[in-house]
Structure 1
Amino acid sequence: MLDIADDLNRWAAEGRDFAVATVVSVGGSAPRGPGAAMAVDGGETVIGSVSGGCVEAAVYDLCVQALQDGEAVVERFGYSDEDAFAVGLTCGGIIEVLVTPVAVDAPDRAVFAAALSAAARGEAVALARVYKGPAELLGRPLLVTPKGEEEKENTYEGTLGGHPELDRTAAGESRALLAAGRTGEFVVSESGTRCGSAVTVLVESSQPPPRMIVFGAVDFAAALVRAGKFLGYHVTVCDARPVFATRARFPEADDIVVEWPHRYLRSTVTDGRTVLCVLTHDAKFDVPLLAAALRLPVAYVGAMGSRRTHEDRNRRLREEGVTEDQLTALRSPIGLDLGARTPEETALSIAAEIVAARQGGTGLPLTGSRTPIHHEGPIGARQGADHQGPSRRALRVRTV
């Protein structure tokens, strides 16, 4: 649901009824992972996607039905050679989808609306919902926010519909997933739910956009800014030269900073999702900057330059005390080998390397390769599980 928070937040503000289908588990090869969502409003307008097209029509029908009867359901879509015309995933995978109606007069409407509003504003928020367990608990929302130093322990809103102990347990588990920036699941045993049955809970996490910091206000930087925005990064351009670091040259950047790169890096906030792209290929900027960058726990550090520049830069970095282990984290020359020439092609090659690093891809052609098409990235949700449904009444299984 939080996957399409911007549009759903607008629907909620406009007072629309809608139903949301959310992928809760996947097995084998599937186009999209847990958290992917599709929604249908009362006027049968559709947004989002759960499968890239394979089962969208069937999921649409489920959403329309949920709006009519007001009940949450879980449906499984799979694949079989026995019936080539039935609804299923032609890629051979299995997905389970939780369909939740969110009517204007629904008791949980305010909780859903608060979660969507927070996610649309770019705030850190988690939304927990039961998808396996007693039918009366399906789809009930629990909104969880990070716990501040002076906040009370129960920083959550709503209920999963069972015992308060279930809500407290779910809030703690959800907060841990939120801190890691992950969408995932957990199981609460029968004794922990106090409702006579174990439950499986999906937690969708929404975090502020990850940062991409582009050092060097060069021609290639403008194209990389556009690529970074396309990938969903909050993009900052930093250069010590005010004549180059201007809004006119980088209209799509979120921030433009005129400062020596290494000084800015030491003063700004980074985390394990931050991407650092060094395009200056000038030793007086690069060496102090990379010496600082390679000591930070960030997701990616890449530097532009020829192979000769790379070797000279590595020598200077060793003289600055950068260790061999730290040097192995440097992507230089930056980008994948696409034969890129233009700034746009170069930006594509850098963006492709960033995606491969984030998702655990090889960067090799898929043609003739036996590597997985859909990787489970470092922060991706677990795949490959073959879950059973919550109950016979709530789960309708379609195996194709």
Structure 2
Amino acid sequence: MLNIADTLHLWCREARPFALATVVGVHGSAPLPVGTSVAVDMDGNAVGSISGGCVEGAVYELCRQVLMDGGEAQRAWFGYSDDDAFAVGLTCGGELDVLVRRIDPAAQPHLAAALAGVVSGRPTAVAQVVDGPEKLLGRTLSVLGDVDAAQGALDGGELDRLVTAQARALLRAGRTARVEVGGDADTCPDRLSVLVHAHASRPRMLIFGAVDFAAALSQAGRFLGYRVTVCDARPVFATEARFPYADEVVVDWPHRYLERTEVDGRTAVCVLTHEAKFDIPLLRLALDLPVGYVGAMGSRRTHDERLHRLRAAGASEQQLAGLRSPIGLDLGARTPEETAVSIAAEIISHANHATGLPLSHGTGPIHEPLARRQGDDRVHEMAVHAAVGR
């Protein structure tokens, strides 16, 4: 639902009832992920998309039906039709599990507060029961990242506490996902499946080295939703005018800035200076931190020398194995803009545990990592061959 938070926030402020259709399960190749929603109000206005167009009409009619009946939540499955590829189904070959329920904002003020949090950029999670007893189906509670107590309720008891803890964990990870809870006497006798919609603060991209490549990468990082920082010890180069797409430009020694700034498991550290006096203390520190990605620019000769210096500085072989150097995927990049695409592609691939190989080399659903889909030695061989052939 957070994909349409702006409109839903407006409808909640106006106390306008609406039907919310949410993707709660995906099988095979589906165009949009779990948590994506469509909403329809009493006047027939619609917002959002869950399939890129192929099942929108059927979902719209189901939303209208739920609104008019004022009844319970409904489930619908949409999949590929072998008999007629243009029937109501996903022509891409996947399957969607969709939950549709009526939302009355006046009865759920916590939802308006959560949507307001999303619109204002605050870390916010909304937990929604998507499978379980009919009396609980569709119920929600909200978790604001800077507020201790959850808002709303599922059952008003231990189940709320358990789901709140799960929601906070997913919020910290910045990940929307389904979690299974209950099924025991201490929490809830019924087994429940809860979809946690998570809107986390933007992940950070820390770019060290105020060079032309940094200017292009900061633009790519901004486009991908990162909060971008460019840092360099040289004030003549580290200026806001040179990096208009960066959220902040910092003049400081790179390792000193990294010591005092906040990072987490989603942070990407990109070292573009390829000067040992900056690189070695910076990388030695970065490899000790719980960040998501560490990459360093330079030739293979620079990389070999860098590894030698890092070993001398006390870096372990396990830490060095996590260093992406030379930085980026092998795209044949030459210009700063092409190199930025190469680096961004590697960050995406790394975050999703994918191989970075062409999709045409694989089989099966494209929204699963290739290695997990094929699960054989051939994928490993292809990945090794691609790496050696760079």
Instruction: Tell whether the structures are fold-level matches, with TM greater than 0.5.
Output: yes
Matched residue, 1:217: 210
RMSD over aligned CA atoms reads 2.5
Q: How far apart, in 2, do the equivalents of 1:166 and 1:222 lie?
A: 48
Structure 1 residue 185 corresponds to structure 2 residue 179: yes
Give the gaps of 5 or more residues in structure 1. 378-400
Residue 153 of structure 2: which of 146, 156, 159 is its match? Answer: 159
Give the CA deviation at 1:140.
1.8
TM-score calculated relative to the size of structure 1: 0.84
Give 1:184-263 correspondences, 5 Å limit.
184-189=178-183, 191=185, 197-263=190-256
1:346-370 deviation per Cα after TM superposition (whole angstroms, max 9, x unaligned): 1111111111001122111111423
Give the CA deviation at 1:136.
3.7
Structure 1 residue 55 corresponds to structure 2 residue 55: yes
Secondary structure of 2:345's counterpart equals helix
Greater mean deviation of Cα atoms: 172-181 or 122-131: 172-181
Give the CA deviation at 1:12.
3.4
Q: How far apart, in 2, do the equivalents of 1:252 and 1:44 lie?
A: 39
Give the CA deviation at 1:175.
3.1
Greater mean deviation of Cα atoms: 340-349 or 181-190: 181-190
Structure 1 residue 303 corresponds to structure 2 residue 302: no
Secondary structure of 1:130's counterpart equals strand
Residues 68 and 291 (structure 1 numbering): CA distance in 2 closer, same or farther, change over 3 Å? same
Residues 48 and 240 (structure 1 numbering): CA distance in 2 closer, same or farther, change over 3 Å? farther
Residue 289 of structure 1: which of 282, 285, 289 is its match? Answer: 282
Aligned amino acid, residue 123 of structure 1: R
Matched residue, 1:140: 139
1:307-338 deviation per Cα after TM superposition (whole angstroms, max 9, x unaligned): 11111211111111111111111111111111
For the 8 Å contact 2:129–2:195, the answer to whether it is kept is yes
Residues 223 and 175 (structure 1 numbering): CA distance in 2 closer, same or farther, change over 3 Å? same
Give the CA deviation at 1:269.
0.7
Structure 1 residue 102 corresponds to structure 2 residue 103: yes
Structure 1 residue 315 corresponds to structure 2 residue 314: no
Secondary structure of 1:92's counterpart equals coil
Secondary structure of 1:38's counterpart equals strand
Instruction: Give the 4+ runs in structure 1 shifted more than 6 A.
Output: none
For the 8 Å contact 1:280–1:304, the answer to whether it is kept is yes
Structure 1 residue 84 corresponds to structure 2 residue 85: yes
Give 1:363-374 correspondences, 5 Å limit.
363-370=356-363, 372-374=365-367
1:21-59 deviation per Cα after TM superposition (whole angstroms, max 9, x unaligned): 221112233223221223334554444332233322322
For the 8 Å contact 1:360–1:375, the answer to whether it is kept is no
Q: How far apart, in 2, do the equivalents of 1:273 and 1:81 lie?
A: 41
Greater mean deviation of Cα atoms: 368-377 or 209-218: 368-377
Give the CA deviation at 1:226.
1.3
Structure 1 residue 341 corresponds to structure 2 residue 330: no
Residues 345 and 15 (structure 1 numbering): CA distance in 2 closer, same or farther, change over 3 Å? farther
Aligned amino acid, residue 231 of structure 1: L
Q: How far apart, in 2, do the equivalents of 1:279 and 1:369 lie?
A: 33
Residues 186 and 221 (structure 1 numbering): CA distance in 2 closer, same or farther, change over 3 Å? same
Q: How far apart, in 2, do the equivalents of 1:12 and 1:224 lie?
A: 38
Q: How far apart, in 2, do the equivalents of 1:75 and 1:104 lie?
A: 24
Aligned amino acid, residue 103 of structure 2: V
Residues 5 and 369 (structure 1 numbering): CA distance in 2 closer, same or farther, change over 3 Å? same
Give the CA deviation at 1:209.
0.9
Q: How far apart, in 1, do the equivalents of 2:369 and 2:341 lie?
A: 22
Residues 351 and 129 (structure 1 numbering): CA distance in 2 closer, same or farther, change over 3 Å? same
Aligned residues: 368
Higher relative contact order (CA 8 A, sep 6+): 1
Secondary structure of 1:189's counterpart equals strand
For the 8 Å contact 2:143–2:167, the answer to whether it is kept is yes
Residues 175 and 104 (structure 1 numbering): CA distance in 2 closer, same or farther, change over 3 Å? closer
Residues 166 and 84 (structure 1 numbering): CA distance in 2 closer, same or farther, change over 3 Å? same
Identity %: 58
Structure 1 residue 23 corresponds to structure 2 residue 23: yes
For the 8 Å contact 1:74–1:131, the answer to whether it is kept is no
Give the CA deviation at 1:170.
2.6
Aligned amino acid, residue 49 of structure 1: S
